[in-house]
Structures are given as structure tokens and as C-alpha cells.
């Protein structure tokens, strides 16, 4: 890659649903049916599973330490470490490759 000649690496971290201050409205308004279906499809409907900012930050540190330039990483839910996504991986294959 052109940037590598200048010592620049490119990494991509794709976190799943993450609790942020933007989510505070849920306490007052509740979750829509569509939102619940979406989170259920991601297997993160339980509040204990949804990522927090510190989980994503920890994953970012891991990716910066272990990731090769040009790699793509995914973190699904709390308690599961980020993993590298293989080329052209669909959702079913992505979930099959997650670490246990």
C-alpha cells in the first residue's frame, strides 16, 4: 500500500451495538419493536451483552497491537474478544469464526 512507505498502517475495527450517551433516550422512551428485533438478530438483546465504550477501547488496543495493516476486525458483544475478519466474509461465516 502507498501509505506503508511512509510508516502509516490502516486498520478497521467494526464494533456491534455499543452503549453510549446517545442511548440514554431508551430509558425514557423504550426500545422500538424494530430495534428489539435487530438486537435479537445480533444475539445482544440482553443488556449484559451489549458493548460498552471501554470494551471497544480495549478491542482497539488489541487491534493496534496485533493487526496487520489493511486488516479488518470485529467485536460482537461483551466477553468475546475482537477477531480478524477474513476476506469477503458474510454474516453467517463471520459468526461461525468468532472466538468462544
Read off φ and ψ for residue 97, nearest 5 degrees. -95, -5
Quote the CA–CA distance of 17 and 42 in Å, as a whole number: 8
Range of the domain at 28: 2-96
- Reported as a pLDDT band with limits 50, 70 and 90, residue 85 is confident
Quote the CA–CA distance of 12 and 57 in Å, as a whole number: 13
- Reported as a pLDDT band with limits 50, 70 and 90, residue 42 is low
**DSSP three-state, residue 41:** helix
Quote the CA–CA distance of 55 and 41 in Å, as a whole number: 21
- Reported as a pLDDT band with limits 50, 70 and 90, residue 58 is very high
pTM of the predicted protein model:
0.68
Give the CATH number, domain containing residue 31: 3.40.50.720
Residue 41 has pLDDT above 80, yes or no: no
Specify the number of domains making up the chain.
1
Amino acid at each position: 500500500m502507498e501509505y506503508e512507505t511512509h510508516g502509516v498502517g490502516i486498520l478497521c475495527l467494526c464494533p456491534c451495538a455499543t452503549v453510549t450517551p446517545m442511548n440514554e433516550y431508551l430509558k425514557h422512551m423504550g426500545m422500538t419493536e424494530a430495534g428489539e428485533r435487530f438486537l435479537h438478530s445480533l444475539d445482544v438483546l440482553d443488556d449484559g451483552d451489549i458493548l460498552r465504550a471501554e470494551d471497544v477501547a480495549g478491542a482497539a488496543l488489541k487491534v493496534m497491537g496485533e493487526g496487520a495493516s489493511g486488516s479488518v476486525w470485529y467485536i460482537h458483544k461483551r466477553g468475546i474478544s475482537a477477531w480478524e475478519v477474513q476476506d469477503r466474509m458474510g454474516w453467517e461465516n463471520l459468526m461461525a469464526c468468532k472466538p468462544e
